[in-house]
Amino acid sequence: MRTSALLVPTIARLAVALTWMGLSSATSLSAVAPLTPPAATDLRCEYMVDPIGIDATHPRLSWRLQSTERGAVQSAYQIQVTQDGKLRWDTGRVASDRSVHLPYGGSALESSRRYTWHVRVWDGGGTVSAWSAPASWEMGLLNAEDWKARWIEPAASEASTAPQPSPMLRGAFAVKGKVKSARAYVTSLGLYELEINGTRVGDQLFTPGWTSYRHRVQYQTYDVTAHVRAGENAIGATLGDGWYRNSLAWGNRRHVYGERLALLCQLRIEFADGRIETVGSDGTWKSTTGPIRMSDIYMGETYDARLERPGWSAPGYPDRDWLPVRVVDPAPRTLVAPAGPPVRRIDIVRPVRILETPAGDTVFDMGQNMVGHVRVSMRGQAGTTVTLRHAEVLDKAGNVYTDNLRAARQQVTYILKGAGDEVYEPHFTFQGFRYVVVSGWPGEPTLDSLVGVVVHSDMRVTGSFETSSPLLNQLQHNIRWGQKGNFLDVPTDCPQRDERLGWTGDAQVFARTAAFNMDVAGFFTKWLADVGADQQSDGAVPHVVPDVLSEKGRGASASAAWADAAVIIPWTMYLNYGDTRVLETQYASMKAWVEYMRRQAGDANLWNTGSHFGDWLAFATTDADYPGATTGKDLIATAFYAHSTDLLKRTAAVLGKTDDEAVYAALVPKIRAAFVREFVTAAGRVGENTQTAYVLALEFELLPDDLRAEAARRLAADVRARAHLTTGFVGTPYLCHVLARHGHLDVAYLLLNRQQYPSWLYPGTQGATTIWERWDGIKPDGSFQDPGMNSFNHYAYGAIGEWMYRVVAGLEIDPEEPGYKHVLVQPHPGGGLTSAVARLQTLYGEAASGWTLADGTLTVSATIPPNTRGTVCLPAATLAGLTESGVAVASAPGVKHAVQRGADVLVEVGSGSYVFVYPAAQLESKPVRE
């Protein structure tokens, strides 16, 4: 991923200059059309709509300025916050165009209290809007003493060598009076599903989520007003092993965090007469087991419907044979409200065919490699056992291929109760699959017998990318589905084998692409808190977060490019969302990591010690005269040392930490000089002469000015000579950026369009519907790569997505005004494409950049959200032949300035949608501006 911190876009600098320029002879100011009355819409608090149970003591408020007119701006705002009808905060009229991340500044917020807010805005002409529709937020439990409930454990004996039946816990309580509102605050050691009076509470899955359990555990807040009633009530919870107690990673390592499951559940009931009553888990609860005989993240689930306990969470259920629970005091952990979105059922995938394999298996083909589980519908005799096995691909003989799952069984077993139509889906497990092998089915299965339930963190879809190339569109599809499959509460590497861990390296290379496809601000805010929690006292960042590879969280080694996620991802979130709080929150972690590298590198400023993954899965070949694209790990480590130090310097500047800024501003050139002395020849050869070596040196600006063009020429020459990339996880995300930026856009497009192995499009030619872990997961001869590491849903190489958004379509961020406050539209047609378009829902509204090439004419479209500005770079254009919406660009409403700048025309515009048309020229003959 390219972080614009490294190179302030040329177009952004020009836009600033244009603001202060007089008009050239070819331009004139255009009057902005009068605005319709403004409105503030889409009110959000901490990225969420009307959240409940948050613990941000100064929650940030955002809204969008609604206007269809060009040049719409906000000149002032007023926020009012009330609680129980009483005014708690009134900003008064504030002269400002700020409309995102406004921190609450009123009196201290209180646990469990709901706050209502609305906003009005003034437009650029001074017209004030009506007050917005009201929005709200509700606080969670802010203090440890707010928790009155007790942790309880089920009484059943629990063996430690294999998954056990899921415990069921229940309690009863009476409600005397009319209920005004009720909230449930719930968490567990392990996973839980909650019921009240026989009804499932909420639609969240895999709660309380996966965090650094040794340090912090999330709790959820539910509005259960509709569940609680006057008179007798009952509450029940089913627990699952989950990440807390299941096997994690390889080697059958169970109980990484603990051996016993536990529940903490508290209800706050507010009555119409003003009384407040708190009830919760305590020693009066009882426990037993039921139909879930085993549920394991890797292995699957066994469910015996004959053992169901109808009405078990309803009042009056006879629980005399249930055992008492144990009240316990687990090791202290901080209970936190979720900062990220919950996991939910997001979509349904219906099978496209049923096939019989040569091995005799009955297989449902879902048509899409997906993550989640299967929901089955059937009827049959009691005791009939139906087994579902899950696989991603078929082998060349047409049989399901499961060797790449390693020890993960991904098997679901359902035993019928024989009571008519039965519908079932698993509870505490998920599978990665396209194919479902069914055995024991009662009768003949049909395409209506099952559906796939897509499960992932409930991130709002924000971006789309489309071109004239069906293969590139399939690539974008695969990238998006790879993100869906692996953003399940943590950014996992793969969703199918016995791993599914939060690998830091994969996350950092993909973060920028992820932020185009979906709103990942909360998702990464949550995960980065665990990065900081699991970071070692010396600053080392574990390979995976949450850390389950280090023995009890200690002694983690740190690898360059992987551990750099601690710095790169916070900066990426800042660029995409203008979020300074994530920088503030993570600053100590960022600095600790850079200081760790500084100690490793010593006075020589060369990091040549320790264990690193290097350019993971770089291209290798059996050709005797080519040893493979091996880039020195010391080169990679030193390059990332420079890169993260530079980002830390920039972060310190944003946060006003001037002393730190000065320290790291002085350190960066020293690292760069050491890099050049050690790895660069006077003739411009870098390291082992690999593509990754040149890419890192150029991307991180490690080379002196007089060697950059030569290094880029060598890189492009190597790509042309081989006609393919040789980069791995480290070099691939930056490869096309570097080529395009240094005048080799045609070579970047060569790589993007290549269909043979190795390439981004090759998997699509083999029927892939997600991104593969390896360039040749399925080899051209139909055989498979090493089954020990061959995921067919592994998003890292999908990092090319950001290049397609940012360069092909041309939608870019100005790092001086992050979060798309200043939108850069700078398309780069080429590669034989005739069209491309990218759209993104920013915090301000939709931004878009697109182009169409037809009959010798280039049409460039741009959408700039209200309350932002844009600069459009029109490649190979002249002012004389340029129109916007059918009129000369200088006369177009919303156009502030237009100027010829070399072979391009730069147009500064206000908000609105624009269509520029001009005769096409040579479009691939110049460097790309980023």
> In this model, does residue 700 exceed pLDDT 50?
yes
| DSSP states along 643-672 | HHHHHHHHHHHHTT-HHHHHHHHHHHHHHH
167-199: per-residue pLDDT in tens? 999 999 999 999 999 999 999 999 999 999 999
Residue 868: pLDDT band (50, 70, 90) is very high
| DSSP states along 287-340 | EEE-SEEEEETTTEEEEEGGG--TTTTSTT---TTSEEPEEE-PSP-EEE--SS
Q: Which of 662, 671, 515, 647 is nearest to 589 (CA)?
A: 647
Rounded to an integer, what distance in angstroms lies between the CA atom of residue 201 and that of residue 619?
A: 49
**What token pair was written down for 324?**
């008492």
Residue 29: pLDDT band (50, 70, 90) is very low
Rounded to an integer, what distance in angstroms lies between the CA atom of residue 735 and that of residue 751?
A: 9
Q: Which of 871, 882, 856 is nearest to 826 (CA)?
A: 871
Q: Which of 45, 24, 48 is nearest to 115 (CA)?
A: 45
**Which of 215-224, 246-255, 358-367, 889-898 is predicted with the least confidence, judged by mean pLDDT?**
246-255
Rounded to an integer, what distance in angstroms lies between the CA atom of residue 288 and that of residue 325?
A: 9
Rounded to an integer, what distance in angstroms lies between the CA atom of residue 486 and that of residue 464?
A: 19
Catalytic residue among 193, 773, 812, 908, which?
773
pLDDT of the residue at 627: 74
> In this model, does residue 22 exceed pLDDT 70?
no
Percent of the chain residues past pLDDT 70, beyond the cut: 94
| Overall average pLDDT of the 117-131 stretch | 96
> In this model, does residue 33 exceed pLDDT 80?
no
87-98: per-residue pLDDT in tens? 999 999 999 999
Catalytic residue among 138, 153, 425, 499, which?
499
* 781-806 core/surface letters (b: 16 or more CB in 10 A; e: else): eeebbeeebbbbbbbbbbbbbbbbbb
**Which residues partner with 824 through β-bridges?**
812, 871
Could you tell me how far CA 351 lies from the centroid of its own chain? 27
Q: What are residue 879's phi and psi, to 5 degrees? A: -60, -35
Catalytic residue check, 773: yes
CB-CB contact of 283 with 324 (8 Å): yes
Residue 927: pLDDT band (50, 70, 90) is low
Burial class of 217 by CB neighbour count within 10 A (0 to 12, 13 to 18, 19+): buried
**Which residues partner with 487 through β-bridges?**
491
Burial class of 34 by CB neighbour count within 10 A (0 to 12, 13 to 18, 19+): exposed
CB-CB contact of 251 with 129 (8 Å): no
Q: Which of 100, 102, 34 is nearest to 64 (CA)?
A: 100
Rounded to an integer, what distance in angstroms lies between the CA atom of residue 218 and that of residue 828?
A: 45
Rounded to an integer, what distance in angstroms lies between the CA atom of residue 264 and that of residue 281?
A: 6
Q: Which of 918, 919, 897 is nearest to 26 (CA)?
A: 897
Rounded to an integer, what distance in angstroms lies between the CA atom of residue 559 and that of residue 759?
A: 26
Q: Which amino acid is at 906?
A: L
pLDDT of the residue at 926: 52
Residue 252: pLDDT band (50, 70, 90) is confident
> In this model, does residue 528 exceed pLDDT 80?
yes
Rounded to an integer, what distance in angstroms lies between the CA atom of residue 790 and that of residue 654?
A: 41
Q: H or E segment at 863?
A: strand 857-864
CB-CB contact of 731 with 758 (8 Å): no
Q: For residue 676, what are the contacts with CB-CB under 8 A and spacing of at least 6?
A: 702, 703, 704
Q: Provide the 3-class DSSP secondary structure of residue 812.
A: strand
**E runs forming strands in 484-550:** 487-488, 490-491
Q: For residue 543, what are the contacts with CB-CB under 8 A and spacing of at least 6?
A: 503, 504, 505, 549, 556, 557, 558, 559, 562, 563, 613
Longest dimension (CA), the chain: 92
Q: Provide the 3-class DSSP secondary structure of residue 881.
A: helix
> In this model, does residue 1 exceed pLDDT 50?
no
Q: Which of 403, 381, 401, 383 is nearest to 393 (CA)?
A: 401
424-478: per-residue pLDDT in tens? 999 999 999 999 999 999 999 999 999 999 999 999 999 999 999 999 999 999 9
Rounded to an integer, what distance in angstroms lies between the CA atom of residue 110 and that of residue 7?
A: 44
Q: Which of 471, 393, 386, 397 is nearest to 425 (CA)?
A: 386
pLDDT of the residue at 254: 85
CB-CB contact of 55 with 142 (8 Å): yes
pLDDT of the residue at 36: 67
